[in-house]
């Protein structure tokens, strides 16, 4: 019996995060304030601890992972690297397909990789409470879990439509001791204003961010936490790719191409950046690895957006970030991969894409579920709709290999399980799931609202 | 950083199942037909393949695990043994607490350990279809997954009340390609008769078994599969305890006491029987391990039932088995641990309990959820309500150690995750979850209906 699951010992959990900034040909474009000047750490200190802000701005190549964070990581890490031999056989491809299973974390996705250090650094800074927002619930669950690990109270503003449609994500957060409020709520001025205008407002991620930030900014004992987009989030996620590299060495193999879903960019950054370090040094044994971000065709920031300064949130409260964006007031179609419905992208991922160091592609919703079901029937694991984007790209690549006869090594990031997304699979099996046309007109309109910056 | 997750390499997946019959002081009591005579394999060959029936009757100590079954096992096995150091600290106990996490399987519980070989042996016998029943959905999911792995069509009769209340378990089965019908259905005579009497009949596990067996018995290409109670099921589950023993050796520790939830008995048998082999040989380094089955106070077959021949199903269609029973027509109260709502118990577990080789205890529902939430907040994993029974017993033992100062090694079987049981946690947090008084009168009544056997 061949080994197909490549595990590591717990003392092989990486001791440092990898900072891709150290290998970028140009320094990252700084975030800008409303006046067009770069935003310094002091302006963000009301809602983030200084240790996080230092990571956000750091150019150091290696950032040590605090021991208490590694001790929480070991509850589920190292996560397995698995060779999908049954999927290979089902496709009849000469390619070798591997995936990293980040769904094994308590919260069910890669998100705790950054939630845990964020909770830790806040605790170190004497912070007792963290506010955050959640759409589909993956991030809120991860922050609830991480807060519980370090004795921090967590308050989650959950987009009201999700609060009503995904009650079990809410239950999960409560099991880990978090408070969950439907947003818009009457806990903040933002929420009260919205409800005064429209008591039936079902909320949006942009408004939920505004509520969480407003509360954190107004209380000295409370900070705010974000689950994607920012540099420190990408940094924390690099534990995925670093583990994968050790596991590929054990497997005696190395990826020719890496696929990861891409919304805010954290799961792509996490798995891809450590391979980019090798590419920057001329590739692994002289051969570079292709790094491909896979986004939904209905929310294609990298492949159809513009590279420009824009707000991180819908309402224009955050600093301006240089990124591929569809316009901050673009409202993505209601695809089931809620974690990929973001108008912009990580500034680091955006800059690397702009400079041609990574690739991007988009896939339609129906194709992602076709791929997810093919995968589940071959390998057992039922993936999250976000993960299905990477799986779809990996399967297409494997089928191209079947045509050409190439025995490529394909690697994708299985970012989470689909246990709380079965309603989406129901729609798929009922034939009710559709594709969304490229929302060209809406994107053109929102791109007209880009802020004017030097 | 100390290791707390003890993993094994994939080539350490056991090559044989352990048959506890070889270490029992007395041979197992045989199943009996309606005439009071032992039932031979030929009478069951209409619904089970011969390889399974041979295992059911076997006295061999070691039964080889077919290589194709080990190849499916390796999709998630060996499952991790984890030392719950954060739970120990939260309780302030000198005890060391370990758990085996069987929730890492694709279907989310220990049930695929037997579903996979059952699918394999049926496939070997040329069977194309398997029927089975499911209550809460754990077993139906496991059989759907296993059938998909070996190209067998699976039809699941799901108790109608569960079919309506747990739609996502149904979606999961469909994702793996199974057909799912609400029982009573109009697919069988049993179902049609029930619906003719009462179109609103919400079904029961007993009726669902009857539908699945009726269909399997009437079709040459179709067999039936059962997820607990029977000897071959207990046999397949011994992979859990065998792996655990190897992992304890790596950890340099050994359990003083093992707890597992006990309904039909398969998860208890799986984790406990391999330790019973050591006990039969005088114990590990001369010290026996206590083996404790933990059952719900509202359905206490071992602790309050009688040891007698009774039917395995509610309707009296199955052979008679000698077991601890509350009477085959006893209807257990509606606790959330649906997997433990069974009137009887595995004949092997029952006989070992009768002969004093294992122990049993019962716990109230509220205490099990207290324990589950304490565990989730310390260790991250949200357990299934069934698993919470073992956790409750383990925590009580750890707190006794705190009083006495004993540094015992406590081990429990975490049989599954609770991702599809969040409604039960919701009830708990809402204060709506209650205990059920010992249903003394109902049990007295049903014990009056025990079949009369020699």
Judge if B299 and B188 occupy the same domain.
no
Question: Is A70 among the domain residues?
Answer: no
**Which ranges in B58-111 belong to alpha helices (H)?**
67-73, 85-91
Q: Which residue from B minimizes the CA distance to A168?
A: B422
Ordered per-residue pLDDT tens for chain B, 454 residues:
788 999 899 999 999 999 999 999 999 999 999 889 999 888 899 999 999 999 999 999 999 999 999 999 999 999 999 999 999 999 999 999 999 999 999 999 999 999 999 999 999 999 999 999 998 899 999 999 999 999 999 999 999 988 988 899 999 999 999 999 999 999 999 999 999 999 999 888 888 998 999 999 999 999 999 999 999 999 999 999 999 999 999 999 999 999 999 999 999 999 999 999 999 999 999 999 999 999 999 999 999 999 999 999 887 888 999 999 999 988 888 888 888 989 999 999 999 999 999 999 999 999 999 999 999 999 999 999 999 999 999 999 999 999 999 999 999 999 999 999 999 999 999 999 989 888 899 999 999 999 988 5
In total, how many domains does chain A have? 2
Judge if A38 and A87 occupy the same domain.
no
Whether this model's pTM surpasses 0.95: yes
Whole-angstrom distance, CA of residue A34 vs CA of residue A36 = 5
User: In chain B, what residues touch A168 (CB-CB under 8 Å)?
Assistant: 419, 422-423
Whole-angstrom distance, CA of residue A238 vs CA of residue A265 = 12
User: In chain A, what residues touch B149 (CB-CB under 8 Å)?
Assistant: 86, 380
> Chain B closest CA to A169's CA: distance in Å?
8
Residue where a domain stops, chosen among A180, A215, A230: A230
Under DSSP, is residue A114 helix (H, G, I), strand (E, B) or coil? helix
Q: So what's the pLDDT on residue B454?
A: 58
Judge if A390 and A258 occupy the same domain.
yes
Strand duo B81-83 + B96-101: pairing: antiparallel
Question: Is A452 among the domain residues?
Answer: no
> Chain B closest CA to A419's CA: distance in Å?
7
Domain membership of residue B43 as a residue range: 16-65+110-230
Hey, are the CB atoms on A382 and B106 less than 8 Å from each other?
yes
Hey, are the CB atoms on A175 and B382 less than 8 Å from each other?
yes
Question: Is A72 among the domain residues?
Answer: no
Question: Is B140 among the domain residues?
Answer: yes
Judge if B209 and B328 occupy the same domain.
no
In this predicted structure, the answer to whether residue A21 has a pLDDT above a threshold of 90 is yes
Residue where a domain stops, chosen among A198, A230, A262: A230
Question: Is B352 among the domain residues?
Answer: yes
Judge if A238 and A209 occupy the same domain.
no
Judge if B373 and B226 occupy the same domain.
no
Judge residue A280's burial from the number of C-beta atoms within 10 Å of its C-beta, 0-12 exposed, 13-18 middle, 19 or more buried.
middle
Judge if A285 and A195 occupy the same domain.
no
- The distance from CA B37 to its chain's CA centroid, rounded to whole angstroms, is 28
Closest among B204, B208, B188 to B196, alpha carbons compared = B188
- Out of A10, A176, A381, the one facing B1 most closely (by C-beta) is A10
Judge if B201 and B237 occupy the same domain.
no
Judge if B346 and B252 occupy the same domain.
yes
Q: Name the residue with tokens 């089928």.
A: A399
Judge if A314 and A409 occupy the same domain.
yes
Q: So what's the pLDDT on residue B305?
A: 96
CATH value at residue B277: 3.40.50.1100
Strand duo A179-183 + A222-224: pairing: unpaired
In this predicted structure, the answer to whether residue A1 has a pLDDT above a threshold of 80 is no
> Chain A closest CA to B332's CA: distance in Å?
26
User: In chain A, what residues touch B380 (CB-CB under 8 Å)?
Assistant: 75-76, 105-107, 145, 149
User: In chain B, what residues touch A107 (CB-CB under 8 Å)?
Assistant: 380
User: In chain B, what residues touch A380 (CB-CB under 8 Å)?
Assistant: 75-76, 105-107, 145, 149
Cβ within 8 Å of residue A126, ≥6 positions away: none
In this predicted structure, the answer to whether residue A43 has a pLDDT above a threshold of 90 is no
Judge if A285 and A208 occupy the same domain.
no
Question: Is A295 among the domain residues?
Answer: yes
Judge if A332 and A216 occupy the same domain.
no
User: In chain A, what residues touch B5 (CB-CB under 8 Å)?
Assistant: 10, 74-75
Whole-angstrom distance, CA of residue B157 vs CA of residue B177 = 14
Closest among B82, B95, B99, B101 to B397, alpha carbons compared = B95
Cis link prior to B400 (omega < 30° from 0)?
no
Question: Is A320 among the domain residues?
Answer: yes
Question: Is A272 among the domain residues?
Answer: yes
Hey, are the CB atoms on A422 and B168 less than 8 Å from each other?
yes
Residue where a domain stops, chosen among B204, B230, B256: B230
């Amino acid at each position: 019996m061949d080994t197909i699951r490549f595990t590591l010992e717990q003392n092989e959990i990486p001791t440092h995060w990898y900072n891709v900034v150290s290998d970028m040909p140009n320094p990252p474009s700084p975030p800008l304030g409303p006046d067009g000047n770069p935003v310094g750490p002091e302006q963000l200190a009301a809602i983030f601890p200084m240790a996080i802000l230092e990571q956000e701005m750091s150019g150091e190549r290696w950032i040590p992972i605090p021991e208490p964070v590694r001790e929480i990581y070991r509850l589920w890490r190292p996560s397995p690297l698995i060779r999908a031999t049954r999927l290979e056989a089902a496709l009849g491809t000469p390619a070798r397909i591997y995936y990293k299973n980040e769904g094994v974390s308590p919260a069910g996705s890669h998100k705790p990789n950054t939630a845990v250090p964020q909770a830790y650094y806040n605790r170190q800074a004497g912070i007792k409470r963290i506010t955050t927002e959640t759409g589909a619930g993956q991030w809120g669950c991860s922050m609830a879990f991480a807060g519980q690990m370090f004795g921090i109270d967590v308050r989650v503003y959950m987009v009201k439509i999700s609060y009503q449609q995904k009650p079990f994500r809410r239950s999960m957060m409560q099991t880990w001791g978090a408070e969950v409020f439907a947003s818009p709520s009457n806990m903040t001025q933002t929420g009260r204003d919205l409800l005064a205008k429209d008591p039936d407002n079902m909320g949006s991620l942009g408004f939920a961010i505004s509520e969480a930030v407003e509360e954190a900014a107004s209380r000295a004992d409370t900070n705010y936490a974000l689950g994607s987009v920012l540099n420190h989030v990408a940094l924390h996620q690099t534990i995925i790719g670093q583990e994968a590299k050790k596991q590929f060495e054990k497997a005696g193999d190395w990826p020719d191409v890496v696929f990861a879903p891409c919304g805010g960019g954290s799961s792509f950054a996490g798995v891809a950046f450590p391979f980019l370090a090798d590419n920057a040094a001329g590739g692994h044994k002289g051969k570079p690895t292709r790094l491909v971000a896979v986004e939904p065709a209905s929310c294609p920031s990298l492949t159809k957006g513009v590279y420009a300064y824009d707000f991180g949130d819908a309402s224009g409260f955050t600093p301006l970030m240089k990124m591929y964006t569809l316009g901050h007031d673009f409202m993505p179609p209601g695809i089931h991969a809620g974690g990929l419905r973001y108008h912009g992208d990580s500034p680091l991922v955006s800059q690397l894409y702009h400079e041609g160091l990574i690739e991007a592609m988009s896939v339609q919703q129906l194709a992602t579920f076709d791929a997810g079901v093919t995968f589940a029937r071959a390998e057992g694991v039922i993936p999250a709709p976000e993960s299905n984007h990477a799986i779809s790209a990996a399967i297409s690549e494997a089928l191209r290999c079947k045509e050409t006869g190439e025995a490529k090594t394909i690697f994708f990031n299985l970012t989470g399980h689909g246990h709380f997304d079965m309603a989406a699979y129901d729609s798929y099996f009922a034939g009710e799931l559709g594709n969304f046309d490229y929302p060209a007109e809406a994107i053109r309109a929102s791109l007209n609202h880009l802020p004017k910056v030097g």
